[in-house]
Structure 1
Amino acid sequence: MRDYYEILNVSKDSSQDEIKSSFRKLAKKYHPDLNPDNKESEQRFKEINEAYEVLGDPEKRRRYDTYGHAGVNGQGGYSQDFGGFDDIFDDIFDIFGGGFGRNSSKARRQGPVKGANLRYNLNLEFKEAVFGVEKEIKIRKSEPCKTCDGTGVKPGSSKETCNKCNGTGELRYTQQTPFGKFVRTATCDKCNGTGEIIKEKCTTCSGTGKETKNKKIKVKVPAGVDTGSIISIRGEGEAGERGGPSGDLYVYINVKEHSIFKRDGNDIYYTIPISFVEAALGTEIDIPTLEGTTKYTIPEGTQTGTQFRLKNMGVPNVRGIGRGDLYFKIKVEVPERLTERQKELLIEFAKESGEDITKSKKGFFSKMKDAFGN
């Protein structure tokens, strides 16, 4: 499958405006209605449409940049009706008043329009993200007016056909040129392209067909999410236009840091201190895990920096497949103050080990002099 940036002739660091501009040019060039019976142009237009469906949406673009085509599987699309290009074809003339065939500007403007998407930032505690949780959030959004069922018309009244555009939703301006008669279309300024006039507006929504309300929504957060994870809830965005579906709600996850655990992917890391005696002789200690504490035997002679692994005790995979590991690193703590008796015992220990402390120091400094040539 071709790269979407390559299809739209843009680079990966292009702005949304640059992507839109390139899309407009390519869509005009390869639109099937301007290239009748040209299978190559139709195929090219399909690719352009699919690429812009993803790169033209900042959220889909982010997922595509992160996961490639797999991250937006099913998100790009192609419509035989070539819908959604009002901003592209508003400035194209209908030659000899012919229009663009199967998808007229009237159909585009009067057709249902999906509502805008909404974003909600959700903060989670570390363990809530690890094990999953259900949260109730409150958002403010528009919904179809219940009084008028989203029509904007006062109950008992009805809409009337616009007498300026005769219900077409558009006005046509004819221009005679040496090449023939050209007809330019524009949205009717009286009915705003709907082709209908509301004489008596709904008193609840003032004719908009929408009500803005506070709504509580339960969000099921799966186990294993992390900062940057996104949960989409279909149909919980803003209300659509002219009977169109509501937009979607995107919940962006932010996970608070833990006082002990550090997460890297699905693995957990932390450092645990033990005493010099415990490291030398070995010991059994309580170590923290995501589920609580557990016993672990530290072997004798363990050095600072030694890392141990507990398999399958990390973070569950967000797709429910497997689980990460838990790693803890040993830090041997050396006492800062010693009693005279403790010092005597350590000196005896050194002698018993055959270790000459003074000689060791002299040997080290001698190596330093050799290394630096002094």
Structure 2
Amino acid sequence: MADKRDYYEVLGVNRQASGPEIKKAYRNLAKQYHPDMNHNSEEIEQKFKEATEAYEILSDATKRQQYDQFGHAAFTQGGGGYGGFNDMGDMFGDIFGDFFGGGSRRRANAPQKGDNIQARINLEFEEAIFGVEKEIFVTVSEPCDTCDGSGAKPGTSKETCTTCAGQGQVRYNQQTLFGTVQSVRTCHQCGGSGQMIKEKCTDCHGSGLKKQNKKLSVTIPAGIDHGQSMRLRGKGEPGINGGPKGDVILQVYVKPHAILERRGEDIYYELPISFSQAALGTEVSVPTIDGNVTYEIKAGTQTNTKFRLRGKGVPHLNNIKLRGDQYVTVSVMTPKSLSDEERELFIQLAELAGETVDEGKKKKGIFNKIKDTLEK
């Protein structure tokens, strides 16, 4: 026993490794060192035996406890009773289901959930904020009307598969270094269903299903945002062998608003005002998702001044009683063109403030004023 390597070292795991970690480590080593993959190599064969022995001990809770306490001595004569691979058939069936072409322990004809369907829904800005009832169309498989979903030609029926006797699986023997191991694989004849269709329905070609456009009513919750998704449970593809239907996964696309911008539960808006409104102060009408509200602009307001309208934002998706806020940024607009009279007034304001004025613009203003007087 002195020349035996530590079982944890053999599998390349630490002593605290979990059962799944030990199984994964052995699976990788077994694939690497399996004799069928490495012909005529005694060294590889020995490594395969070593890894299998380590797994047989460490995968069993009782044997692992004995090994942790007594080491290899636990399985010498009079020790813990090392069984020498008593359950190799079960172990190989569990570890090498797909490695030997068998498949998992789950029955091939066990119920399986149907596939999910991906779909898209387009919403207006306000629809996403306040919620809405919408209708969408999805293409989904439904039982064939011609054969009532059996897949068999009307007047005929399915028959039990003769290859697997209706079990959906075929057992076969695999010769290994440790003797004959029995394994199972999905029946290739019936695909695991256990039944055969000799005369197929001409409409669904034996599948029992036909693609149809189906209308679904969808309740859009208040507060949903662009890029989020919704799951409509049980509205997807039919299950297999009596399994539940899949789901419809809706990707939400929200059309941008012309002047309002949403960021999470808050809304942002840029309010344009004139020089005179900013200087003198005024009451302005501010658009919100609830309609226009009146707000007082104080005299001397500067551009980029911000204020908040509490509770004028988006309802929280999980609690519609809570709402975000609307943030408004003031933007003082500079006129791009002036009438002669407006220009004169700005010049006078500038002179009163002691500001330097472009002489060319000043003379132009006076000339136009004289011209207007003469024309009268």
Q: Which bin holds the TM-score, normalised by the shorter protein?
A: 0.5 to 0.7
2:125 maps to which residue?
126
2:247 is aligned with 1:248: yes
Structure 1 residue 241: deviation in Å?
A: 1.3
Structure 1 residue 232: deviation in Å?
A: 0.8
Aligned amino acid, residue 322 of structure 1: L
1:356 maps to which residue?
354
Q: Which moved more, 1:339-348 or 1:326-335?
A: 339-348
- Indicate conservation of the 8 Å contact 1:93/1:182, yes or no: no
Structure 1 residues 62-141: aligned runs within 5 Å? 89-91=97-99, 105=105, 107-141=106-140
Where 1:164 maps in the other structure, the secondary structure is: coil
Aligned amino acid, residue 356 of structure 1: G
Structure 1 residue 305: deviation in Å?
A: 0.6
Rounded to whole Å, the distance in 2 between the matches of 1:193 and 1:238 is 19
Rounded to whole Å, the distance in 1 between the matches of 2:304 and 2:140 is 53
Structure 1 residues 1-374: aligned runs within 5 Å? 25=24, 35=59, 89-91=97-99, 105=105, 107-154=106-153, 157-319=156-318, 320-338=320-338, 341-350=341-350, 352=352, 355-358=353-356
- Indicate conservation of the 8 Å contact 1:282/1:301, yes or no: yes
CA 171–279 in structure 1, closer or farther in 2 if over 3 Å, else same: same
List alignment gaps of at least 5 residues for structure 2.
1-20, 29-54, 65-92, 358-376
Rounded to whole Å, the distance in 2 between the matches of 1:171 and 1:200 is 24
CA 336–199 in structure 1, closer or farther in 2 if over 3 Å, else same: closer
Q: How big is the alpha-carbon RMSD for the aligned residues of Structure 1 and Structure 2?
A: 3.5
Rounded to whole Å, the distance in 1 between the matches of 2:321 and 2:278 is 37
- Indicate conservation of the 8 Å contact 1:90/1:185, yes or no: no
CA 129–88 in structure 1, closer or farther in 2 if over 3 Å, else same: farther
CA 148–348 in structure 1, closer or farther in 2 if over 3 Å, else same: same
Q: Which moved more, 1:325-334 or 1:172-181?
A: 172-181
TM-score by structure 2 length? 0.65
- Indicate conservation of the 8 Å contact 2:101/2:185, yes or no: no
Structure 1 residue 183: deviation in Å?
A: 2.8
Structure 1 residue 145: deviation in Å?
A: 3.1
Rounded to whole Å, the distance in 1 between the matches of 2:162 and 2:218 is 48
Structure 1 residue 279: deviation in Å?
A: 0.8
Rounded to whole Å, the distance in 2 between the matches of 1:318 and 1:39 is 53
TM-score by structure 1 length? 0.65
Structure 1 residue 304: deviation in Å?
A: 0.6
The one-character-per-residue Cα deviations of 1:63-92 (angstroms, maximum 9, x if unpaired) are: xxxxxxxxxxxxxxxxxxxxxx99983225
The one-character-per-residue Cα deviations of 1:52-71 (angstroms, maximum 9, x if unpaired) are: xxxxxxxxxxxxxxxxxxxx
Rounded to whole Å, the distance in 2 between the matches of 1:184 and 1:283 is 86
CA 27–134 in structure 1, closer or farther in 2 if over 3 Å, else same: farther
1:18 maps to which residue?
none
- Indicate conservation of the 8 Å contact 2:107/2:169, yes or no: no
2:31 maps to which residue?
none
Query: Which entry has the higher C-alpha Rg, 1 or 2?
Result: 2
- Indicate conservation of the 8 Å contact 2:113/2:238, yes or no: yes
List alignment gaps of at least 5 residues for structure 1.
1-21, 41-84, 360-374
CA 191–338 in structure 1, closer or farther in 2 if over 3 Å, else same: closer
Paired-residue identity, %: 48
- Indicate conservation of the 8 Å contact 2:109/2:193, yes or no: yes
Rounded to whole Å, the distance in 2 between the matches of 1:318 and 1:27 is 47
Aligned amino acid, residue 91 of structure 1: F
- Indicate conservation of the 8 Å contact 2:270/2:331, yes or no: yes
Aligned amino acid, residue 226 of structure 2: T
CA 181–283 in structure 1, closer or farther in 2 if over 3 Å, else same: same
Rounded to whole Å, the distance in 2 between the matches of 1:39 and 1:142 is 51
Structure 1 residue 228: deviation in Å?
A: 1.2
